[in-house]
Structures are given as structure tokens and as C-alpha cells.
Amino acid sequence: MTTPIQIADIANYDGQEVLVRGWVYDRTDKGRLQFIKLRDGSGVAQCVAFKKEMSPEAFEIAGSLTQESSVQVTGTVRKDDRAPGHPGGYEIGVQSIELIQMADEYPITPKEHGTEFLMDNRHLWVRSSRQWAILRIRATIINAMRNWLDDHGYLLVDTPIITPAAGEETTTLFGIDYFGEPAYLAQTGQLYNEANMAAFGKVYCFGPTFRAEKSKTRRHLMEFWMLEPEMAFFSLEDLMDMEEQFVSHVIQRVLEKHPLELEIIERDTSKLENALPPFPRISYDDAVARLQKLAAETDDPEQKELLQIEWGSDFGSPHETAIAEMFDRPVFVYHYPTAVKAFYMQPVDGRPEVCLSVDLLAPEGYGEITGGSERIYDGDLLEQRVAQIGLPREAYAWYLDLRRFGSVPHAGFGIGLERTVAWICGLSHIRETIPYARMLNRKYP
């Protein structure tokens, strides 16, 4: 009897007759020999169809297969170090082949295509090795994040996507019509996390979040996935201690689990291996001083212009990149100006113009991957902030309640999944980090 196998496990079947079902990734015609690269989702294996070893009908099918046709192949696995594929090193000597569907002319060929074309064909592009590798790494990143939290006493508590009020900047809200009432797609799960934190101590949420950011950058999506932990009795230091353990765990898991995928995408992993705790920690003040010094010292006028910064402004991506380049691993920047951060951040004692916030900047120009803070836990101060920012109090009444019933110091952060994938995979643009990107000019397919 023939065993159906996953190509990922091909090494376990040396010398055995197997059944593989999948899609033709590529085919090379050598007359009496057909080399078929077969893709089954778990990997790619070279299937060698030799005229002498097959029925004429089966060999004819083999020789007519178009790219992405679906087939079922029976054959014998044999070790061959030169055999291409993922994982490679084994090939299948074909005995029989059955056609499931002969594919129409496939739009994505091994030749170069423009990115817009590939994005228009994203539903097919996800089959390509590079995209396959990236999306497998993405799945492991999610798994590693969740496992670390589950193993460290955090509880997954889901937060709603349809919300009555803004969680972050009101300028980036996606509004919806909720039976005649306005509502918004969640920008963050944080406010609900804070309620859940008081019920479970250490919680996290993980889900899609939405920002109507009218910017076309290689770091912004309209719909992105964010994982947000929230912890009772955590200080800013506790938060940084936890984040560096968490982030380095994720990197280590990807390095262990995905040598093949990292090789497919040609990632220089030496850059990731270094991402071990402790991560350097610098204050916003220090970061501004370093940027100003760098701007003063550079001979490049364009760079000088880009690095200009006054105390009080938020960092743009050139600033974040320059700060990150000063270190050999991710760097924490803490105590940002209160004015550039969200309304819920706790001001620093005796220096309310800065707040107990921290961003983690990734190396290699990937910028901010996490943003977090201690939260205001004094009810009066939070009331004042809500009023000052001009938020409608009714919509935040439940959130303000949390400060009336056992309010405690607490902190949390959000990590952007796609920015993390972009960094770990070394991608120049965020659009390839998510199966179906939603961007300013794209909601298809």
C-alpha cells in the first residue's frame, strides 16, 4: 500500500514507495526524462519521470503538465544530495502520475514581475517559495509570542474589534455605521486589556487592528495584527525587562525552526543572532542629543536635513534608523514627551512634560516595533486628560470606572506583528509580511 506523505518529511521515506499530492511548481523537459518540481504546501520535491519506467499514458501526462497543474504522484523516494527542493536532498522516481486539473496559463512565471502585478495576483503569489517562507515564519512568530506568554502566566483575553471610542489618535479612525450609530474599528485592544488586567493580573490580546493612516510608507498598513500584553503592578523597568525576554525568545524560535525558510529568503541571520538581552535603554532626551550631535557632525547635507530634530518632536523614520544604528541590537527609547504620546500615559513624577513610555526600535532601519507605557491610574488625572484631549466622556465612562474600583499601577505594550516579521525576514516593505495587505491604494484581492 502506498503511504500518502508530506514532502517536508521526505527524508523519513528513503527507499519507500510514497504518494504525493500537490501542484507542479516547475517542469523541465529532457525528452525521455521529465523533471517535475512538485509542491504540496509543506515543501517542494523533485519528481523524476523516466519514460522507460512508466506507462506511455502516464509519461504523456508528465510531459504535458503546465505550471500549477494539480496532480497525484506515486513513486519511490531516493536520496540524492543534488536533488533540488525544500528540503531537497531526496527525489521521487515516478511510477505513476494522475492529473487532477490541468492549469490554465499561469500569470506568475519564474521571470521577474513588478511588485504591483504580484500584489494584484497575491492570491496566487502566496504559492511562491519566498512568500511561502515568509508566511511560515510569520506563523512561527505568532506561535512563539503566544507560547512565551502562555508559559509565563499571561492569559489570552480577546478584545472587541467594533468599538464605541478611539483607543489611539482620533485622526486615524475607521468609522462604521452601527445600526445608525457611529462606531469604529479597533485601533488597539488596550483599553479593554486594562479592564481584563484587573480581572486576571497578566493578560494579552492578539488580533487585527485598524488605522486609517493616509501615509504610504513601507512600514504602515491599514489593517495590521497587534499583540498587546497588559500587566498589573508593572513599572516601566519591569516592562522593558519583560519585553526583551519576550522579543529575544521569538527571534531564537525562528532561528531554530526556520533555517530552510531563512535561506530561501536569503536572510543574513548574523544580524538576528545578536538580539539577546539586555537591550540598551536610552532616554528620549539622550536620543535627541545624540541625533543633534550626529546632524552637526555629518558632512552629508541631505542626511543633516533628515536628522534635524528639536526637543519635543516625535521621531520620524530617519531618526529611528539613526538611533538604531548606534547599537548592535534592538534599543529601548523611554520617557518621550507627553505631548506626542497617547492620553493614557503616566507622566514622570516631577517632570510631567515627559511620560513613562517606551518604544523598542529594531535594528537595520525597521524602526518602532513595540510601543508601550505605564498607564495613568489616578482617576482625577485621567479625567483631566480625557477632557483636555477633548474626548467624549460618555464613551470612556467604563474606562474611567477602572480607576474607581481598585486602581493599581500597571503597564503594557503592543507589538506590531507585521513590522516584526519585516525585521526578522529582512524585508524592504511590510506588504509581504501579511497574506493580504490593506494599504492606502490597495484592498484587492
Q: Which does 131 bind (CB under 5 to 8 A by kind): ligand 4AD, Mg ion, none?
A: none
| Least distance CB 315 / Mg ion (angstroms) | 10
By beta-carbon proximity to Mg ion, the closer residue of 204 and 336 is: 336
Closer CB to ligand 4AD, residue 34 or residue 187? Answer: 187
**Which lies closer to ligand 4AD via its Cβ, residue 22 or residue 416?**
416
Q: How far is the CB of 372 from Mg ion (least distance, A)?
A: 9
Is residue 416 part of the contact set for Mg ion (CB under 5 A)? Answer: no
46 near 37, Cβ under 8 Å? yes
414 binds, among Mg ion, ligand 4AD, none (CB under 5 to 8 A by kind): ligand 4AD
Torsion, Cα 230 233 235 238, to 10 degrees, reads -70
Percentages helix, strand, coil for the chain (3-state, rounded to 5) are: 35, 30, 35
- Give me the amino acid identity at 249: H
Sole window of 163-171, 190-198, 370-378, 415-423 interacting with Mg ion (rule: CB under 5 A): 370-378
DSSP type of residue 105: P
Which residue in 224, 234, 225 sits closest to 154, CA to CA?
A: 234
Q: Segment contacting Mg ion (CB under 5 A): 18-26, 304-312, 349-357, 367-375?
A: 367-375
Report the side by side order of strands in the sheet with 162-163.
162-163, 181-185, 175-178
Q: Which stretch binds Mg ion (CB under 5 A): 93-101, 185-193, 224-232, 366-374?
A: 366-374
Rounded to 10 degrees, the C-alpha dihedral 193/194/199/201 comes to 90
Q: How far apart are CA 2 and CA 19, in angstroms?
A: 6
- 412 part of the interface to Mg ion, by CB under 5 A: no
Of 156 and 260, nearer to ligand 4AD (C-beta) is 156
With beta carbons less than 8 A apart as the criterion, state whether 6 and 50 touch.
Answer: no
Give the one residue of 43, 75, 189, 371 binding Mg ion; rule: CB under 5 A.
Answer: 371
* Residue found by looking up cell 483575553 in the block: 157
Question: Is the CB of 47 or the CB of 226 nearer to ligand 4AD?
Answer: 226
CB atoms < 10 A from the CB of 441, how many?
8
Residue ranges binding ligand 4AD (CB under 6 A): 167-168, 188, 190, 211, 213, 220-221, 224, 226, 228, 368-372, 412-414, 416, 418-419
Positions in the binding site for Mg ion (CB under 5 A): 371
